[in-house]
């Protein structure tokens, strides 16, 4: 960002709440943070964290604990996992020992696909995040949530969330309405100067993001909230400018596809009719920029979905689409299993290989809709189609969906297919989380911490 992270004798530390299937936790680990505590309520997600810990979280396993006031582990020791309600935790033993508190509070209260009760919904866990901030006093906080928080019906409450994070020690009493408490916080904030350095205060940056703009092979619109403790002297304006600077773009993808022998087609050798179809739909005017191309679903399946090149996933045999066949077994790739019954219907258009995937969703009861169906390169004659051809389609495998979420192939999702897909749909793409965790680490280093 400004300076590279300074050399330290020990890695930075982190606490992960609402860890789910581990997307943000893996991201924070990749950015060099040592986990001191994990929390997750869902038992299947806990099984996933335990199964994947050694290979994906940089810890020598996880230890389930019912201890409600967990002690931080020594370096090299297994990290504790509290498999219960975060509101029951006392994290005061971690006070002053945590660089980064990270988590995505459950998004159903604010999701367009949920009941959208917002602050009245008992699943709203932002208050639990603020409680953790008071107990831990972390140097920085990262929260990820759905773009629904920006809807007009939630605008005032979302501003209240940010105000609470700025002044977490101005605790709201249960009998006080949030609107009245927000008036109180607003009056305090109005009196603060730009150089406020009170250690009880935080400086907050809110960033609407599309994960595709950060190198994720998926269009995924979210909100990321980052906070730095005010006494640390972090240059928040420089941080905000850095994280909002575009790095990947749709136009750059179009430019890579524009020519018949363009970089995208050199990387992917596809049937001529596929290339011609994609090129025919490119806009006539394509903007110039300095960005890298958006990554596509085809990139992800072929191993280009992250900066680290992965092996291409084995092709799914079209003759076995009606079977739950394990297509990854021969190369020891887990969960690359076909799923029969894919169909295309109104309101659930499929993914296209040469576009970023649609948003991976948890779906109702863990069963995604058209978001997990993909069009293939194979086609057949169809007199009812305008051009005389119809492209075949199938369900994406769990492993392909994990690739779209930029999860490593070492990630092992617990439970049946629907449960694994639910965990992926609720997660933070690793590449997106890692970008923000690295940016936080660099901002702290630049400020001398």
Active site residues: 107
CA dist., res. 213 & res. 387, Å (int): 33
Instruction: For tokens 């996880």, name the residue.
Output: 62
406 half-sphere exposure, CB direction, 13 A CA radius: 33
Rg of the chain on CA atoms, in Å: 23
CA dist., res. 107 & res. 123, Å (int): 8
Q: Kindly give, in sequence order, each residue whose CB lies less than 8 Å from that of residue 283, ignoring residues fewer than 6 positions away.
A: 254
Its sign, for the CA torsion 210, 260, 269, 341, is positive
Q: Read off the tokens for 369.
A: 């809709």
Q: Is 347 left (phi over 0), alpha (psi -120 to 50) or beta?
A: left
Strand partners, 318: none
Concatenate the DSSP letters of all residues of 121-152 into one string.
STT--HHHHHHHHHHH--SEEEEEEEGGGGSG
- Residue 153: which of 112, 123, 188, 183 has the closest Cα? 112
Concatenate the DSSP letters of all residues of 257-300 into one string.
HHSTT-HHHHH----HHHHHHHHHTS-S-----SPEEPP-HHHH
CA dist., res. 157 & res. 149, Å (int): 8
> CB-based burial of residue 365 (10 Å sphere; 0-12 exposed, 13-18 middle, 19+ buried)?
exposed
Q: Read off the tokens for 323.
A: 């079977």
Q: Are strands 79-82 and 33-39 parallel, antiparallel or unpaired?
A: parallel
Instruction: For tokens 């930075």, name the residue.
Output: 12
- Residue 14: which of 122, 121, 102 has the closest Cα? 102
Q: Are strands 221-229 and 202-210 parallel, antiparallel or unpaired?
A: antiparallel
């Amino acid at each position: 960002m400004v300076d590279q992270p300074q050399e330290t004798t020990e890695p930075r530390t982190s606490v992960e709440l609402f860890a789910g299937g581990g997307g943000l936790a893996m991201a924070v680990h990749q950015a060099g943070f040592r986990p001191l505590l994990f929390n997750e309520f869902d038992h299947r997600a806990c099984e996933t964290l335990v199964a994947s810990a050694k290979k994906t979280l940089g810890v020598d396993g996880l230890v389930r604990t019912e201890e409600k006031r967990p002690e931080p582990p020594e370096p090299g020791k297994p990290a504790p996992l509290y498999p219960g309600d975060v509101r029951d935790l006392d994290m005061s033993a971690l006070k002053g020992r945590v660089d980064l508190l990270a988590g995505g509070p459950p998004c159903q209260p604010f999701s367009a696909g949920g009941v959208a009760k917002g602050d009245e919904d008992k699943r709203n866990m932002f208050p639990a995040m603020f409680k953790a901030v008071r107990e831990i006093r972390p140097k920085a906080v990262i929260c990820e949530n759905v773009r629904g928080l920006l809807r007009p019906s939630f605008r005032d409450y979302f501003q209240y969330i940010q105000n609470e994070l700025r002044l977490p020690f101005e605790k709201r009493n249960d009998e006080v309405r949030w609107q009245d408490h927000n008036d109180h916080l607003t009056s305090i904030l109005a009196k603060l100067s730009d150089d406020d350095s009170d250690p009880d205060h935080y400086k907050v940056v809110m960033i609407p993001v599309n994960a595709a703009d950060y190198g994720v092979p998926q269009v995924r619109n979210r909100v990321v909230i980052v906070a730095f403790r005010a006494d640390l002297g972090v240059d928040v304006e420089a941080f905000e400018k850095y994280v909002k600077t575009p790095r990947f773009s749709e136009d750059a993808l179009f430019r890579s596809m524009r020519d018949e022998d363009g970089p995208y087609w050199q990387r992917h050798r596809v049937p001529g009719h596929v290339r011609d179809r994609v090129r025919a739909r490119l806009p006539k005017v394509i903007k110039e920029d300095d960005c890298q191309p958006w990554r596509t679903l085809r990139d992800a399946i072929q191993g280009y979905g992250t900066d680290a090149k992965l092996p291409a996933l084995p092709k799914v045999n079209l003759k076995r689409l009606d079977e739950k066949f394990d297509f990854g077994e021969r190369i020891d790739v887990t969960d690359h299993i076909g799923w029969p019954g894919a169909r295309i219907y109104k309101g659930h258009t499929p993914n296209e290989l040469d576009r970023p995937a649609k948003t991976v969703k948890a779906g109702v009861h863990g069963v995604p809709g058209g978001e997990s169906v993909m069009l293939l390169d194979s086609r057949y004659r169809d007199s009812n189609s305008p051009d005389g051809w119809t492209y075949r389609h199938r369900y994406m495998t769990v492993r392909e969906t994990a690739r779209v979420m930029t999860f490593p192939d070492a990630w092992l999702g617990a439970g049946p297919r629907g449960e694994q897909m639910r965990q992926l749909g609720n997660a933070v793409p690793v590449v997106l989380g890692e970008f923000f965790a690295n940016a936080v680490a660099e901002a702290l280093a630049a400020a001398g911490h």
